[in-house]
Amino acid sequence: MWYGIQFVKTVINNGSCGMSKTSLLKINNLAISFPYGKSQLQVVRGVDLEVFLGEVVGILGESGSGKTVTASSIIGLTKDEAGSID
């Protein structure tokens, strides 16, 4: 059994020769936490991912593992505490 989230990537064949090295998304050491009483509850930590042109990414994980929070952070709806999204 694994805990946390997992990224699954596949490449769409668009008829071009070879893989593109154009990076569309790069996430380094993403961490997100929310206020919880008098402390902080860390819901995501240590997420690293790079997505290239032609790739499709799925986010897998159990209920409560941080999938929605991670996706929300990627599109700018949730502020990340640490790390970078480029």
Tens-level pLDDT at each residue, the chain (86 residues) = 445 667 777 666 655 555 568 888 898 998 988 889 999 888 888 888 898 888 888 888 888 888 898 889 888 888 777 887 88
List the alpha helices (DSSP H) in the chain: 67-74
Token pair in block for residue 25: 């998304």
Side-chain half-sphere CA neighbours of 8 within 13 A: 4
CA-based torsion, 39, 43, 49, 51: positive or negative? negative
Q: Are 69 and 32 in contact (CB under 8 A)?
A: yes
H or E element at residue 63: none
